[in-house]
């Protein structure tokens, strides 16, 4: 018998000793002859109770248990009446009992660096009750992985995907697949879409086409206990979501030096612009971009995009009404110094230049997630250079999923 069984048996209550009753009686009628033989009766022994026998995994007093280990409670004799598993913060671990009532299995991963207590009530085949407790601790990660749901709580544009961003790489395809299996997106109304990885830190869910205005998006990311690298585990769950606002889509024609701004299909303004001058480092990228952030004031330093001070083309300038569309330094912004070229020539270092008045109007009109479609240059926008989910066809985007068939 295992140590768990012996401990369980010691805790069982209600054990009854067998009792045997013996007796004999003789009766003689007053006027009758003595009976030829005495009569006697013997009570049958009471059956011994059958206590339940329960096994718990992880075993009692286990240490450094991997958070991905399932908790399993199994009655090899009898059935389970109740199973409660709680961590040292009092949080209960979800689980389910099978239809036979003999096996309980946890539904979620465990929290790293935590202590767990298991309390079990069970019954033997004859109804004999028993209880047992067990405990274990989970491993302490070398690194605690963190992540967030971008733009949660905001009203965003029709091009904004759900974006779950990790602080560091999710190291393997198998680990990324595990993340995907656990996270969910719920939309109202329902929308077809797919998860995909822009890189090993950014998991995104995009609809097949741009969102419809008014769509409500809810994200559930119960990633506690997920391993993302060597010695690296997630220690918390996160939920979030956002609402889709008006369909603001702008079309930049690089050779035509214009930007046509639309709202829900209607043209709001056509703005003369100046884009990046010809050259491998300065030409504005073509492609479908999404506004990443809005900042009224920025100091733009070319050293941050690979043109250090002292090099040809170096610049450092304060700009206003900035709308970021790439992580590589492309913005839509005010450029009073290039007003003379706006509408007729491309003279910037890659940004889309506007007059101060047009830039302020555009800034106030726009929100994160609005779409900016750029055409007419020989330099393509790469998906990882910004929110690049729309650079893929929907079929190709689905291939970015870690769960996609190879």
Whether residue 137 is predicted with pLDDT greater than 90 in this model: the reply is: yes
Residue 42 is predicted with a pLDDT of: 61
Place of tokens 């479609």: 373
Q: What is the pTM of this model?
A: 0.84
In the chain, where does the domain assigned CATH 2.40.440.10 lie? 248-375
Residue 18 is predicted with a pLDDT of: 27
CATH class of 248-375: mainly beta
Average pLDDT value for the chain: 90
Q: Which residues of 182-210 are buried (b: 16+ CB within 10 A; e: fewer)?
A: bbebebeeebebbbbbbebebbbbbbeeb
Choosing among 3.10.50.30, 2.60.40.10, 2.60.40.3710, 3.60.10.10, the CATH entry for 143-245+393-398 is 2.60.40.3710
Contacts of 337 (CB under 8 A, 6+ apart): none
Report how far apart, in Å, the C-alpha atoms of 16 and of each of 12, 45, 122, 127 are: 11, 12, 18, 13
Given the residues 25, 257, 349, 351, the one annotated as active site = 351
Residue 315 is predicted with a pLDDT of: 85
Whether residue 30 is predicted with pLDDT greater than 70 in this model: the reply is: no
Cβ pair 129, 122 in contact under 8 A: yes
Residue 44 is predicted with a pLDDT of: 67
pLDDT digits (tens, 9 = 90+) for 44-53: 677 788 999 9
In the chain, where does the domain assigned CATH 2.60.40.3710 lie? 143-245+393-398
pLDDT (average), residues 54-78? 98
Question: What is the token pair recorded at 56?
Answer: 């718990």
pLDDT (average), residues 4-26? 32
| 166 vs 39 pLDDT, higher one | 166
In the chain, where does the domain assigned CATH 2.60.40.3780 lie? 3-15+47-138
Contacts of 111 (CB under 8 A, 6+ apart): 67, 87, 91, 138, 224, 225, 235
Residue 305 is predicted with a pLDDT of: 75
**351 catalytically annotated:** yes
Residues 3-15+47-138, CATH architecture: Sandwich (2.60)
pLDDT digits (tens, 9 = 90+) for 183-210: 999 999 999 999 999 999 999 999 999 9
DSSP 3-state percent helix, strand, coil across the chain (nearest 5): 10, 40, 50
Whether residue 10 is predicted with pLDDT greater than 50 in this model: the reply is: no
**257 catalytically annotated:** no
pLDDT (average), residues 72-94? 97
């Amino acid at each position: 018998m295992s140590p768990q069984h012996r401990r369980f048996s010691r805790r069982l209550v209600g054990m009854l000793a067998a009792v045997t009753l013996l007796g004999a009686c003789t009766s003689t009628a007053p006027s009758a002859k003595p009976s030829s033989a005495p009569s006697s009766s013997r009570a049958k022994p009471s059956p011994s109770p059958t206590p339940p026998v329960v096994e718990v995994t992880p075993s009692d007093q286990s240490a450094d248990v991997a958070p991905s280990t399932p908790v399993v409670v199994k009655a090899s004799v009898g059935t389970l009446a109740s199973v409660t598993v709680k961590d040292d913060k009092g949080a209960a671990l979800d689980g389910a009992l099978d239809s036979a009532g003999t096996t309980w299995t946890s539904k979620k991963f465990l929290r790293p660096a935590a202590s767990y207590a298991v309390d079990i009530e069970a019954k033997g085949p004859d109804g004999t009750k028993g209880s047992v407790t067990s405990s274990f601790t989970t491993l302490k990660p070398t690194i605690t992985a963190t992540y967030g749901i971008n733009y949660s709580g905001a009203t965003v544009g029709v091009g904004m995907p759900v974006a779950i961003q990790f602080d560091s790489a999710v190291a393997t395809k198998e680990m990324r697949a595990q993340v995907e299996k656990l996270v969910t997106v719920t939309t109202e109304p329902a929308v077809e879409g797919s998860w995909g990885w822009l890189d090993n830190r950014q998991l995104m869910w995009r609809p097949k086409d741009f969102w419809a205005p008014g769509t409500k998006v809810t994200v559930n990311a119960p990633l506690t206990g997920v391993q993302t690298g060597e010695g690296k585990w997630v220690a918390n769950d996160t939920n979030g979501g956002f609402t889709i606002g008006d369909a603001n889509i702008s079309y930049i024609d690089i050779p035509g030096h214009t930007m046509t701004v639309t709202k829900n299909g209607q043209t709001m303004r056509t703005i003369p612009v100046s884009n990046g001058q010809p050259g491998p480092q300065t030409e504005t990228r073509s492609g479908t971009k999404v506004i990443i952030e809005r900042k009224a004031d920025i100091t733009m330093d070319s050293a941050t995009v690979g043109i250090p001070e002292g090099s040809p083309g170096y610049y450092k300038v304060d700009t206003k009404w900035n709308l970021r569309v790439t992580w590589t330094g492309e913005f839509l912004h005010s450029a009073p110094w290039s007003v003379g070229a706006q509408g007729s020539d491309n003279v910037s270092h890659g940004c889309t230049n506007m007059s101060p008045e047009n830039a302020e109007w555009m800034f106030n009109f726009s929100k994160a997630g609005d779409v900016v479609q750029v055409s007419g240059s020989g330099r393509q926008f790469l998906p990882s250079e910004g929110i690049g989910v729309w650079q893929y066809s929907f079929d190709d985007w689905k291939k970015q999923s870690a769960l996609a068939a190879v």
